[in-house]
Amino acid sequence: MVYTEAYIKEKLAKELDAVHVEVTDESDGCGAKFSAVIVSDKFQGKPLLARHRLVNSVLQEELKTIHAFTQKTLTVEQWKQQ
């Protein structure tokens, strides 16, 4: 299955109660490489590795066919400070 920016964005927003999600398909539309910025209070108190593991668990099935996925994970407070 080929995944879209909209599909990934909707799933992350829903599963992580995210207040902001940006997803970019960096593979010219083939759905093999994505980057994401995710802002959620579910990241509060978690180190970077734990945040990434949380995101990866949400996209567990999708990551079987996505070849590259980069992510920036922020709490709401961190997002406001930018």
Q: What does each of the 82 residues of the chain score in pLDDT, given as a tens digit? A: 789 999 999 999 999 999 999 999 999 878 899 999 999 999 999 999 999 999 999 999 999 999 999 999 999 999 999 8
Tell me the CATH number at 65: 3.30.300.90
pLDDT value of position 29 = 73
For residue 43, tell me if it sits in a domain: yes
For residue 70, tell me if it sits in a domain: yes
For residue 32, tell me if it sits in a domain: yes
Q: Which amino acid is at 66?
A: I
Q: Which domain holds residue 53?
A: 5-77
- The region that residue 12 occupies, defined by phi over 0 for left and psi between -120 and 50 for alpha, beta otherwise, is alpha
Q: Which amino acid is at 48?
A: L
Structural domains in the chain (count): 1
